[in-house]
Amino acid sequence: GDKAFAQFLTDEIKEERKIQKHKSLPAVSGGWELEVRGTEARLVRKVAGEKITVTFNINNSIPPSAEEETQEEQKPDEQEPDLTSTPNFVVEVIKDDTKQTLVLDCHYPEDEIGHEGEEESDIFTIREVSFQPTGESDWKDTNYTLNTDSLDWALYDHLMDFLADRGVDNTFADELIELSTALEHQEYIKFLEDLKSFVKCQ
């Protein structure tokens, strides 16, 4: 059984390499620096006395709807639908002269993806906003967290503009999807290779 499994994985890795769009990770325009640790990626940009950090994790970032079509429905030579990774991402804005970090928790609403026709709509939304003490890795649940569900739309618009002024806009969000999808695929291939080595190991 293990031999067949290893053979299957070898073929699968070959196929996945064939459809891999990016051999190296695509860059995000606007002077962002990328750091990757396993499935977590961080983009950092410094602008006029501020440091902006965007963090996301590719785990569980592929919406489930893409996987609902069962294998039988697909004709053998049909391409599988392109899986797109749309991770939640956290934007942290640190100003040099304050001890607080403004944290904005953003995500891609599932129904927004694919509505290219609407010029005005944003492809991502802000879900929560809070202040956290700068430099502390553990966030405190005791800090007030503003949920945007019941937020005054004018305040929400200002928050979106605040992000856009710092380079986090629709273009950025599009490029983040591209980057995340490439990273997810790269990690998937690596996982298959590790699994193959593990299965073959006697």
Quick one: pLDDT at residue 73?
45
Written as one letter, the residue type at 24 is S
Mean pLDDT for the chain overall: 86
Q: What is the pLDDT of residues 180-201, one digit of tens each?
A: 999 999 999 999 999 999 998 7
Block residue for tokens 């979106």: 160
Among the ranges given (6-20, 33-47, 78-92), the one the predictor scored with the smallest mean pLDDT = 78-92
Q: What is the pLDDT of residues 124-180, one digit of tens each?
A: 999 999 998 887 666 667 788 999 998 899 999 999 999 999 999 999 999 999 999
Length of the chain, in residues = 202
Q: What phi and psi values does residue 184 have, to the nearest 5 degrees?
A: -60, -45
Report the predicted TM-score, pTM, of the whole model to 2 decimal places: 0.84
- Give the span between the Cα atoms of 56 and 180, in whole angstroms: 8
User: Does pLDDT of 78 surpass 80?
Assistant: no
Quick one: pLDDT at residue 117?
46
Query: Nearest Cα to 122, choosing from 132, 113, 131?
Result: 113
Domains and CATH numbers, the chain: 1-60+83-110+120-200 (3.10.280.10)
